Amino acid sequence: MYSIDAGLYWMLPGPRGFVHKISTRISKARVLVVNLPKATVPGTRDGIVRGLRDAHIKDPILLIIRSGTDIANDVGVHFGGQRMTAAQLAAYQAPAETAVVLQAEDDKAQTMCEQYTEEFMAATGYSHGNVHLVASIHDKGHQGDSEIGNVQLITFDGGLNTDEMDAYVALRMADRTGPGTTRLLRSIVSEFASFDAQFAERLLHLDDSQILAIRDHLSVLLGEDPDRWRTLAWLSGTTSIVTQTPHVLHDFYLSEYGTVRQKSDAKERIARRYWRACLKVISPWLEERRREVIKHFYPQLRQIAANDPNGGIPVPVGKDKYRYVDPQDVELNNIAGLYGDHKIITTSEDERKALKICWSTKPVRDDIAHLRAPSTANLVQLISEMDALVLL
């Protein structure tokens, strides 16, 4: 498992907001329950402790509970040395407001922590101590936050929304652009990582060619932990509360082993990720360079416009229909069409390079315009040809 950049991750709004929830809600809760998936984001426990300290609980007590642990005994060590039941802890008046954080290390310990927490919750109805209890649960049925009496429930799975993932990947790949003068690698990583920062780190460790051909590499990534991705389950991290879209590796599993309908839907979602990456990067990249390509044909275009009674370049808009545009507004696709109609010619090496770019642009732009994911080969060819002629 690849670790996240914790310093960067915990600065993002969602993770930072989780810490803020801890700090604001502990003040009005004797019991704070944090609902987490089985696989938590690194630093989650530290985030809880940080939230408690932000609430001026200076020295929260973090207890690691294992299957053989006597929780009452471990708690008592911090409060005078005597064994302390949940009911006794609920009534205890410490010199300063404090909190006990229970962290279970296995399933049996989790059951013990939940039992201790339930007993503490019951005792708060008639006890008025100043010790807070913080415990975690793993419950797929609670996908939000709630408040019941003296109990606050916060759900956190570590998922990043689209803007947060874009920011995370952009900073992690700040010194790694490409291919060529594009930032397509970053966009692909961001789209395919979706909500999962740890998976983003895994993708960052692929080489450029593997990221570009990520759709062909998903089988290798799936094979690194195949059992996890078979089921759509919040507890195992194949889905998140920040999005309705499943993890891409669950989608890839369905595309290989699902029903006919599941295969079709999953393949479409995977393709849509690649399409979005190209839409965000390749479309503006092409537009930024369009005039630098078209300028090689300006003399011929101006002559066509001068000879046309409508004073413009005829651009097809349907069968036997045209609109007339200024030479500077001609699209790359239009150049290919004008060449095919023998209205322009190539007489120089730059013109031949520019025409080749126009031909290479068409399949890529057509795919993007029709919500399809362009082929990797077409993208590489277009970017290579464009950078050979235009370097902004």
CA dist., res. 179 & res. 384, Å (int) = 8
SS3 172: helix
Centre a 10 Å sphere on the Cβ of residue 387 and count the other Cβ atoms it contains: 15
Judging by beta carbons within 10 Å of its beta carbon (0-12, 13-18, 19+), is residue 249 exposed, middle or buried?
buried
Please give the C-alpha separations between residue 261 and each of 105, 224, 254, 274, in angstroms, as whole numbers.
40, 26, 10, 20
Q: Residue 88: CB partners within 8 Å, gap ≥ 6?
A: none
Centre a 10 Å sphere on the Cβ of residue 111 and count the other Cβ atoms it contains: 12
- The secondary element (H helix, E strand) that includes residue 116 is helix 107-123
CA dist., res. 100 & res. 286, Å (int) = 57
CA dist., res. 352 & res. 363, Å (int) = 18
Counted residue by residue, the chain has a size of 392
In this structure, which amino acid lies at residue 198?
Q
Q: Look at residue 142 in the predicted model and tell me its pLDDT.
A: 84
Query: Strand locations in the chain, DSSP E?
Result: 31-35, 61-65, 98-104, 131-137, 146-148, 151-155, 313-318, 321-325
CA dist., res. 184 & res. 84, Å (int) = 58
Q: Look at residue 181 in the predicted model and tell me its pLDDT.
A: 96
Q: Look at residue 135 in the predicted model and tell me its pLDDT.
A: 95
Name the DSSP class of 134: E
CA dist., res. 358 & res. 346, Å (int) = 13
Please give the C-alpha separations between residue 201 and each of 87, 169, 193, 232, 295, in angstroms, as whole numbers.
44, 9, 9, 22, 42
Sign of CA dihedral 192, 198, 200, 202: negative
Could you give phi then psi for residue 314, rounded to 5 degrees? -70, 120
CA dist., res. 389 & res. 353, Å (int) = 7
CA dist., res. 99 & res. 90, Å (int) = 11
10-residue mean pLDDT series, the chain (392 residues) = 89 97 92 93 93 93 93 94 93 93 93 95 90 93 84 95 97 94 97 97 96 96 94 95 96 97 97 97 96 94 88 79 86 90 92 96 94 95 96 72
- Which residues on adjacent β-strands are paired with residue 152? 32, 147
Token pair of 78 as six digits: 């911090």
Token pair of 332 as six digits: 């790359």
Judging by beta carbons within 10 Å of its beta carbon (0-12, 13-18, 19+), is residue 348 exposed, middle or buried?
exposed
Q: Look at residue 154 in the predicted model and tell me its pLDDT.
A: 96
CA dist., res. 289 & res. 283, Å (int) = 10
- Would you list the DSSP string of 179-208? STT--HHHHHHHHHHTT-HHHHHHHHTS-H
Is residue 158 within 8 Å of residue 184, measured between CB atoms? no
- What pTM value is reported for the model? 0.91
Q: Look at residue 1 in the predicted model and tell me its pLDDT.
A: 63
CA dist., res. 343 & res. 337, Å (int) = 9
